[in-house]
């Protein structure tokens, strides 16, 4: 069973890799950012509450995130595995995820960290042109990443669960390294 957590700064390329790998393995790609953007677009209660944080490059409060992740990981299609992209983003969220996985009798196979220097991230994010990718918001998102998310690298590394990938390579090279590093998925053709 493949259950992966993808870690990395915004712009590190984890979404692109997660999407391709999930499709190949026939498992859901669970991006909390995509779920939140969908909620904002359809103006659900979650979307209305999350929007101002996302626009500012801040993290959406845990109180909104935890229910969302619990529901998504408990859904039927997540029984065959999953790739979690953008969650956890704080040590608190990682602890919540530990408890949740325990409760639903699942365990994560690997935590993959995509490492990219800040200068390269800024260039990539500015080129991406998403609404929350303006200069000031990008700088804030990177600061939030370093303060709140980067500590997860040590958190998972101390448990021997971490796989490190050089995310500054080309999409093709990252993709090849990733597949060499991970065990083949039983359902992959
Ligand atoms: P992403 O597409 O993963 O870069 O997420 C876009 C935005 O959604 C982030 O800047 C946050 O505002 C919010 N977001 C996504 N995932 C989380 C999370 N795990 N915790 C808090 N906020 C999140």
| Tens digits of residue pLDDT in 40-73 | 999 999 999 999 999 999 999 999 999 999 999 9
SS3 category, 163: strand
Backbone angles phi, psi at 188, to 5 degrees: -70, 140
Q: Which two tokens stand for residue 127?
A: 């080129």
Please name the residue whose Cα sits nearest to atom 6 of ligand 1: 33
Domain 2-31+78-182 = CATH 3.90.1300.10: no
Is the CB–ligand 1 distance for residue 57 below 6 Å?
yes
- Residue 89 a catalytic site member: yes
Is the CB of 148 inside a 6 Å radius of any atom of ligand 1? no
User: Where would I find the H helices in 107-150?
Assistant: 118-128, 135-144
Location of structure tokens 């993808």: 6
Asked whether 14 lines ligand 1 (CB < 6 A), one says no
pLDDT for residue 185: 57
The rounded Å distance from CA 167 to ligand 1 centre is 19
Q: What does pTM read for this prediction?
A: 0.94
Give 19-26 contacts, CB < 8 A, sequence gap 24+.
20/175, 21/83, 21/178, 21/179, 22/82, 22/83, 24/185, 24/188, 25/81, 25/83, 25/185, 25/187, 25/188, 26/80, 26/187, 26/188
**Ligand 1 centroid from CA 156, angstroms:** 20
Q: Within 13 Å of residue 1, how many CA atoms lie on the same side as its CB?
A: 11
**Is 130 annotated in the active site?**
yes
Please report where in the chains the tokens 């909620």 appear, as a residue. 39
9 C-beta closer than 6 A to ligand 1: no
Write out pLDDT tens, residues 96-111: 999 999 999 999 999 9
Asked whether residue 189 carries a pLDDT value surpassing 50, the answer given is: no
């Amino acid at each position: 069973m493949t259950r992966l957590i993808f870690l990395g700064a915004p712009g590190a390329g984890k979404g692109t890799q997660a999407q391709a790998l999930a499709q190949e393995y026939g498992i859901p790609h669970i991006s909390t950012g995509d779920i939140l953007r969908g909620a904002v677009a359809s103006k659900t209660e979650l979307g209305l509450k999350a929007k101002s944080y996302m626009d500012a490059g801040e993290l959406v409060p845990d109180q909104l995130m935890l229910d969302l992740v619990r529901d998504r990981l408990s859904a039927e299609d997540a029984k065959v595995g999953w790739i979690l992209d953008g969650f956890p983003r704080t040590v608190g969220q990682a602890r919540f995820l530990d408890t949740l996985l325990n409760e639903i009798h699942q365990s994560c196979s690997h935590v993959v960290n995509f490492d990219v220097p800040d200068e390269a991230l800024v260039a990539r994010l500015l080129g991406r042109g998403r609404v929350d990718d303006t200069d000031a918001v990008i700088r804030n998102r990177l600061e939030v990443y370093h303060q709140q998310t980067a500590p997860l690298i040590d958190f998972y590394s101390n448990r021997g669960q971490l796989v490190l990938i050089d995310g500054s390579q080309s999409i093709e090279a990252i993709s090849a390294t990733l597949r060499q590093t991970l065990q083949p998925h039983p359902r992959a053709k």
